[in-house]
Structure 1
Amino acid sequence: MPEPIQSSAPPASRTPRRKTLEQVTAENAKSGLKRTLTATQLILLGVGATIGAGIYVMTGTAAAEYAGPSVLISFVIAALACLFTAFSYGELASTLPVSGSAYSYAYISMGEKAAWTVGWLLLLEYGISCSAVAAGLSGYASSLMSVFGIHVPSALAHATLQPVAGSGGTAISGGFRVDLIGFVAVMVVTALLVRGVEESARVNTVIVFLKVGVLFVFIAMGFHAISPANWHPFIPPSQGGFHYGVKGVFRAASVIFFAYVGFEAVSTASSEARNPTRDIPIGIIGSLLICTIVYMAVASVLLGVVPYQKLDVPDPLAIAVKIIGTPWLSLLVNIGATIGLCSVLMGLMYAQSRVLLTISRDGLIPKFFGRVHPRMQTPWIGTIVLGIIVALITATLPIDIISDLVSIGTAAAFGIVCFTVIWQRNTRPDMARPFSVPMGGFRIKGIWIGIAPVLGILFCLLMTLPLVIDMVHSVAGGNPVPLVLLVVYVSLGILTYVLYGRRHSLMAQSEDV
């Protein structure tokens, strides 16, 4: 492998701790993980980790609160942000076929501090998403059990802490209650992941076909109940702020963006893919395209059946099914939502456990996260600890008030991935790239700038801007909760690296030798 091109910048007194591709590849080869996943299984992993809470819950909220029928445009905007990022993920995954996803890419390209930043963002994305999905799963499962006459007591169906209605999240009430269903669901998924990735992939394949099949049945049955009048006006007149109008379309896109969280989970499976340089790009881009098609079709039917003003509910598809007037379809959609959210939870927890595995092996977090079971060949201790933490969060905390933070963390991580492609192209132009970002690029003073990565960065900024503006308005209106949570999480990440990661880093130990 040719040596990297030297930068023309003056030498710094302390150069960044940066891994070489050869070093990471060697570490990856000794991971102890089984290479069993095919391109098809990777696509299904991406679909399984993506189609869930976004389409079952957030489509209705985005339409009712911000965009109306034009939420279909919001889907396209959010999909474009993800597509340009998927191209970047595809190039990096084919060039750097290692576990750890964007964390490993940043470690090789920009050094340890950048890698820790990306890794901490990914943990925010996956961790909060897992809890939010588990909470949604609990709601649908409770509804499903009630159909069969099983009524879960309120004390076992809601989190310990709940936002006070009408407080905008600034007031929280506590009570003697736990979300038992969400807790159990997380622990069952944890047990499957500990059992083995191949077995988990088989279960995920069955679940994906079931939940996508249910959505297609909904589309087919709902198509005949569409009233074109519900699509007018396509872009409702602005009512100020992000409430409808063109601004509302972009604010809805930032909400819909959460619906795409999960497709990049495929990139964490490089150590367990049979042919990562070929199959990982196929899995990432393929799962994104499939999810976008399904989202657009379901949203079109939903908005054609139900007036958008009535969709600000936790179960918008259930509202549509009542209008369609087919009782058995209501049961089917409820089952589809429950099992669909199970597969999303599995995909997100799988991705987070693999990111933790990689970070721990670099010494930035305790080593037990990286211990692989000798027989099951999975990071079992880390997966169990992760499962317990996510289960406790699901059972006790009101996840709904921090969903926007997931989108902020995801957009930031995606933007860094796109920038990493540009960095790699300029520092290692001679590397073999089985998959390259399309659309080419141009040079400014000798620096290569890729069109697709730049568009990815711009679209990620576009996703983040409405969220930040709303956060500022919330603080001005007396609701500092989202900003406080963001500051606490960032501060915790900085302290973790300064007090533990920087000292225990394997790169730091190699410097001392």
Structure 2
Amino acid sequence: MALHSPTPASAPGRLRLRKSIQQIESESQDHGLHRTLGPIQLMMLGIGSTIGAGIYVMTGTAAAEYAGPAILLSFLVAGLACLFTALSYGELASTMPVSGSAYSYAYVSMGEGAAWAVGWLLLLEYGVSCAGVAAGFSGYATSLLHDLGVHVPAFISTTLVQTQPTVHGASLLVAPRLDLVGAASVLLVTFLLVLGIQESARINTLVVFVKVGVLLLFLAFGLRYIHPSYLEPFIPPREDGFHYGVPGIFRAASVIFFAYVGFETVSTASAEARNPRRDVPLGIIGSLLICTLIYMCVAVVLIGVVPFRRLNVADPLAIAVDAIGQPWLALLIKVGAVIGLCSVILGLLYGQTRIFFTIARDGLLPKIFCRLHPTFRTPWIGTILLGLVVAAATATLPIDIISDLVSLGTAAAFGIVCFTVIWQRNARPDLARPFSVPLGGVRVGGVWIGLVPSLGILFCLIMAGPLFLDMIRALADGNPLPALLLGGYIVLGVLGYVLYGHSHSHLGRDKRTATV
């Protein structure tokens, strides 16, 4: 099946210009990065990038505000959305073992315009969420230092912008302060990434063992203190909007979707994997399954030892440990959170630098993002620039103002990944697939429709739906902030392509068409 793009002279045609799979494979051979990562390191990268602010911060908010004990069902819904996407990622990574993740896949299936849009969405998923994770790090680090007798002034541990609840949602408060603690964590991780992925992967693997060990210790002690009465009613009666009831389960799922951001970071490491066709699918699916199991077990203990309405705090696990009555364990939990969140920052920032590396090689971003260090063979200047931008966002923006945007961007990117599997199966049915999505599919009018990728698209819509509805509701109540943030981000993305990407695209400049 051959798909021919219109000539680059037409602006709409330029947006539909596609790369061929042959181009993608050719580019993967001369990227200049070191192939040093094995399957265990890839899985540790996925776990390290995933277990973070979602479980340490967002779980409490989702339970207290939306789902109650039914947060377990919310984790199941969000986990299924990610599982279907992970299986789709696995097939694409086995056929196109390239850096760039969903951006590269979209360039093949839907063209340059869609690829740029996905790349911009991935900036939400990786770069912006990295700032949110660093904000979580700052909260736990400040609390830990306080327990050790070190007082960190609020003006260097609180963001410039804060949100204040009102009857119409939230309002913004601006004061002369910066979260320098969170910003410092981003700059430290940036330094490690400049040195090289092999060195960063070793540190990440050690950190993963520490933070998973601390969570297992929390489970071992917490199981003995669960109050069955705290789990009843399992689904609290619905109040207004998405507060409790069945709607609350899905709204909570869209919130904790943030907790799953990171597992597909493994796909961005394809260019640095020793055997990407085999190891990347294993890393993606394995890390997701391990993280989901840990999440659900921790959630059972969390809502079993503390009434769920008390969990809308920045450190819900610390509240749970206080209820258990083990001060030493509370200290250990905070140490695990601080160390663990550092590994999440590392994974997310790594993923973002590799995506920008790929976009810059295509000419849609300045070349500075793909310039390699002569010794470390890392995109060092681009890494430093991104690190500075994320550090600035960490110092100024609170986590609750960006988490919904991150979930929206992630759901959109995941849906495109699932669609790409369907497109590629129809465009190149002859392509070798070392890993294929299970359960097969059906043919409708000669077009193959896979069950797993279709379910992935459906669940991504389920994740995004409550977020959009809440945004519309806030707008109707006189709070335009969420809509303005989303609209502003979209406008910036469009301007980025129009003012730079469109005129510098290698595919457009060479006046080539992509034939698949």
Q: TM-score, normalised by structure 1?
A: 0.97
Q: 1:486-505 maps to which residues of 2 (within 5 A)?
A: 486-505=486-505
Quote the Cα distance in structure 2 between the aligned partners of 1:274 and 1:147.
44
Cα 1:36–1:7 shift into 2, 3 Å: closer
Give the 3-state SS of the residue equivalent to 1:87 in structure 2: helix
Quote the Cα distance in structure 2 between the aligned partners of 1:106 and 1:341.
30
Q: CA deviation at 1:168?
A: 5.9
Which whole-Å deviations, capped at 9, do the CAs of 1:194-226 have from their partners, x for residues lacking one?
A: 010000000000100000000000000001111
Give the 3-state SS of the residue equivalent to 2:448 in structure 1: strand
Quote the Cα distance in structure 2 between the aligned partners of 1:95 and 1:168.
49
Partner in structure 2 of residue 71 of structure 1? 71
Partner in structure 2 of residue 247 of structure 1? 247
Which whole-Å deviations, capped at 9, do the CAs of 1:18-66 have from their partners, x for residues lacking one?
A: 1122222222211110000011000000000000111111111111111
Cα 1:210–1:98 shift into 2, 3 Å: same
Q: CA deviation at 1:512?
A: 7.5
Q: 1:396-407 maps to which residues of 2 (within 5 A)?
A: 396-407=396-407
Q: Is the 8 A contact 1:128 1:399 kept in 2?
A: no
Q: Which amino acid in structure 1 is aligned with residue 2 of structure 2?
A: Q
Partner in structure 2 of residue 390 of structure 1? 390
Q: CA deviation at 1:121?
A: 0.6
Q: 1:242-391 maps to which residues of 2 (within 5 A)?
A: 242-391=242-391
Partner in structure 2 of residue 438 of structure 1? 438
Q: CA deviation at 1:466?
A: 0.5
Q: CA deviation at 1:241?
A: 1.6
Cα 1:91–1:512 shift into 2, 3 Å: closer
Cα 1:169–1:359 shift into 2, 3 Å: farther
Give the 3-state SS of the residue equivalent to 2:429 in structure 1: coil
Is 1:6 aligned to 2:33, yes or no? no
Which whole-Å deviations, capped at 9, do the CAs of 1:67-109 have from their partners, x for residues lacking one?
A: 1101000000000000000010000000001110011111122
Quote the Cα distance in structure 2 between the aligned partners of 1:272 and 1:22.
19
Partner in structure 2 of residue 37 of structure 1? 37
Is 1:461 aligned to 2:461, yes or no? yes
Which whole-Å deviations, capped at 9, do the CAs of 1:359-404 have from their partners, x for residues lacking one?
A: 0010001110010111101100000000000001111223422210
RMSD: 1.7
Partner in structure 2 of residue 87 of structure 1? 87
Q: 1:126-137 maps to which residues of 2 (within 5 A)?
A: 126-137=126-137
Q: Is the 8 A contact 2:7 2:511 kept in 1?
A: no
Q: What is the percent sequence identity of the aligned residues?
A: 63
Quote the Cα distance in structure 2 between the aligned partners of 1:512 and 1:131.
38
Cα 1:7–1:326 shift into 2, 3 Å: same
Partner in structure 2 of residue 425 of structure 1? 425
Partner in structure 2 of residue 178 of structure 1? 178
Which whole-Å deviations, capped at 9, do the CAs of 1:455-500 have from their partners, x for residues lacking one?
A: 0000000001111000000001111111001011111111111111
Is 1:472 aligned to 2:472, yes or no? yes
Quote the Cα distance in structure 1 between the aligned partners of 2:6 and 2:493.
30
Partner in structure 2 of residue 195 of structure 1? 195
Q: Is the 8 A contact 2:5 2:18 kept in 1?
A: no
Q: Is the 8 A contact 1:402 1:482 kept in 2?
A: no
Partner in structure 2 of residue 411 of structure 1? 411
Q: TM-score, normalised by structure 2?
A: 0.96
- Which range moves more in the overlay, 311-320 or 192-201? 311-320
Quote the Cα distance in structure 1 between the aligned partners of 2:123 and 2:63.
29
Which whole-Å deviations, capped at 9, do the CAs of 1:307-366 have from their partners, x for residues lacking one?
A: 111111111111111111111101000001111110110000000000000000100011
Q: CA deviation at 1:162?
A: 1.7
Give the 3-state SS of the residue equivalent to 1:158 in structure 2: coil
Q: Which amino acid in structure 1 is aligned with residue 277 of structure 2?
A: T
Partner in structure 2 of residue 22 of structure 1? 22
Which whole-Å deviations, capped at 9, do the CAs of 1:236-269 have from their partners, x for residues lacking one?
A: 1111221111111111111111100000111000
Q: Which runs of 5+ in 2 are unaligned?
A: none
- Alignment coverage as a number of residue pairs: 509
Cα 1:426–1:173 shift into 2, 3 Å: same
